[in-house]
Amino acid sequence: MKNAKNRSLKLFMLLAVTGLVASTLVFQAGCARPETASAGLQPPVAEIIPQNLTVHGHTRVDNYYWLNERDNPNVVEYLQAENEYTKAVMKPTEALQEKLYDEIVGRIKQTDQSVPFRSSGYYYYTRFEEGKDYPVYCRKKGSLEADEEILLNVNEMAAGHDYYSVGGLAVSPDNTLISFGVDTVSRRKYTLHFKDLRTGEILPDAIPVTTGSAAWAADNRTVFYTKIDDTTLRAHKVCRHVLGTPPASDPLVYEEADETFSAYAYTSKSKKYVFIASGSTLSTEYRFLDAAKPAGAFKVFQPRERDLEYQIDHFQDKFYILTNLGAKNFRLMTAGLDKTAKEDWVEMIPHREDVLLEGFELFQGSLALQERAKGLTRIRIMPWDTSAEHYLDFGEETYSARIAANPEFETEWLRYAYSSLTTPSSTFDYNMVTKEKKLLKQEEVLGGFNADDYQAERHYATARDGVEVPISLVYRKGLVKNGKSPLLLYGYGSYGATTDAGFSSARLSLLDRGFVYAIAHIRGGQEMGRWWYEDGKLLKKKNTFTDFIDCADFLVAQKFTNPGRLFASGGSAGGLLMGAVVNMRPELFKGVVAGVPFVDVITTMLDHSIPLTTSEFDEWGNPEDKDYYDYMLSYSPYDNVEAKDYPALLVTTGLHDSQVQYFEPAKWVAKLRVMKTDKNPLLLWTNMEGGHGGVSGRFRRLKQTAMEYAFMLDLARIKE
């Protein structure tokens, strides 16, 4: 990237009519349009320095390419000036933000604990302490009445850090050691650490620039871990480490040479095998090793093939394989321990056109399957003796359910998680033999929450090509469908990720102020099966955007809201969605919150040094191919900004974002500032300490939630 250290920045102070003083950066290239909500404040205007980007004989002019330079102090000053401007514009809502924050935090049971799960004779759980941001990881030996043993107190570990994340916790087979990763920057570069649980000592073995997770071998002193590329952050090298030896001398056991693939290591549920999984969007490949022979050589399970996806686990004398081999919606197959090529796979659960097989869990007496039909999750119980096969009944119209942590084979009880738009997050144990169901814990929502005060519904909007798109929505009972209610429509629609209708206690602050909340289950996700995903990617990506618009039009037609009261939000790839729909139908929305938005599609997908680029060609396409270049160019939000009216926009990002680089939203906002013809607020908020998921800590991140809610409530003229 070009060096811009000699570019000058001119800082000056503008006195707002409100009496506020805002520092404003000007990169003079024309005049900024005053925005109505800014009460006379002038926003920062980035200097225009044209950069010609030519591909396939076509030249795009990027006036803000210089903002790509993360280490350029001028860039940091610009982002800080945008933050100051956002603070100044949002100043009148400060009281509302504080009220919202207090409400949201006030619903959280601050001293709380997860439901313990049993593994190798110990009960593991996570607890939070009042007023503390970070978890405490604990266990008890033998029974829940035993003395508590603290594995990691992240509150103590995080002291003195602006950002702190612990991940990848894994206990050794003999229960005496734990491995874990620490990230203090939010770039997802974890340093792998080890702790002796007998003495409490943090071992000197510290391995930097990893994924943060490790797979233990059976000898309790050898682990397999994955190094990531320092620039692209691609997980590509699996190494073997023996505790007490210098990490710098760790042998490389596998390197993923294909830059479209990433690799990682994990241990089978049986703990008999260590697996190395290599995966891209459309293909996977596994290697396996007897965990009792850590110095041995990994063996390929089934060589990679284009469009062949599979995942494996081990139980008794078989491997179990979830695969799309001849099965768009996946099927379950088995293989012997010595013959693992696809020619030797034996079908167990066949493919079904109307049911997506999402996952499985193995037990001594039963097989549990997680399926999806008509957009909703089903959990199916199949005893090995083929008797009494059945499904769990969840009893609601729209919901979220999933098989949870089940680390042991020798149990009749299946642990699963459940919630809905009106039911707080719940953990159940289900007896697969007697069909008894135990509610172990339901998220306690403080402040007088009553689920009966709210109504959840499922609707279907007809897309322009005739496809029925599900919509899940919730509102406080008593709503009058006269088109006057404010409504927030959320969408994602990428990577085959399903967006289920789950609970949010924070969302109550909108519902209790008259908002309707809706989720558009648009193509690009996998709600309706694998085809739903394939119909919203690559050269069909625009279906994602038009589905969202058609859902919005449906909600207006059904008088849930009107364009003057309709809001939209989405993050990451959902931020791309926001950028696309405001270009396509800006008049449809009053305001939009775009979180860490992927908006500069072509430039990013042409830059192999940017994290995720090479691994996502099968998701978005490779613009080095002209067909994909032309198609991306037709929807890329940054490239399609026009001189026209846009809705109010709040755009958020993180300086250290490892997935969508901060400069994409920064450039998008800069371009919108000089192109848009309206006077609606346009705000950029950068978490200077955070990354893709924002700042760390369970309470600190809620400050941004309160700001986003206040932004929408203010536009809806709801002041309290």
Active site residues: 572, 657, 692
Find, among 608, 573, 617, 664, the residue nearest to 234 by Cα. 608
For the range 458-466, what are the long-range contacts, defined as Cβ-Cβ under 8 Å and sequence gap of 24 or more? Answer: 458/397, 458/398, 458/501, 459/554, 459/558, 461/520, 461/547, 461/550, 461/551, 461/553, 461/554, 461/555, 462/550, 462/554, 463/543, 463/546, 463/547, 463/550, 464/546, 464/550, 465/543
**Cβ-Cβ contacts under 8 Å for 327 (sequence gap 6 or more):** 350, 351
Sheet of 376-383, strands arranged across? 356-362, 366-373, 376-383, 390-391
- Phi/psi for 583 (5° steps) reads -75, -40
Number of residues that this document lists for the chain:
720
Q: Tell me which residue has tokens 């996952």.
A: 359
Please name every residue paired with 100 in a beta bridge, in sequence order, or none if there are none. Answer: none
Tell me how far apart the alpha carbons of residues 352 and 670 are, in angstroms, rounded to a whole number.
49
What CA–CA distance (Å, rounded) separates 53 from 60? Answer: 5
Report the alpha-carbon distance of residue 295 to residue 328 in Å, rounded. 38
φ, ψ dihedrals at 209, nearest 5°: 55, 55
Q: What is each CA distance from 93 to 58, 74, 79, 701, in whole angstroms? A: 45, 29, 21, 18
Residue 445 near residue 454 (C-beta atoms within 8 A): no
Task: Considering only CA atoms, give the Rg of the chain.
Answer: 26
Of 638, 624, 701, 623, give the one whose Cα is nearest residue 675. 638
Strand order, beta sheet including 400-403: 400-403, 413-419, 426-431, 437-442
Question: Could you identify the residue written with the tokens 């302490």?
Answer: 129
For the chain, the maximum distance between any two Cα atoms, rounded to a whole number of angstroms, is 78
Residue type at 261?
Answer: F
Residue 566 sits at φ, ψ, to 5 deg, of -100, 130
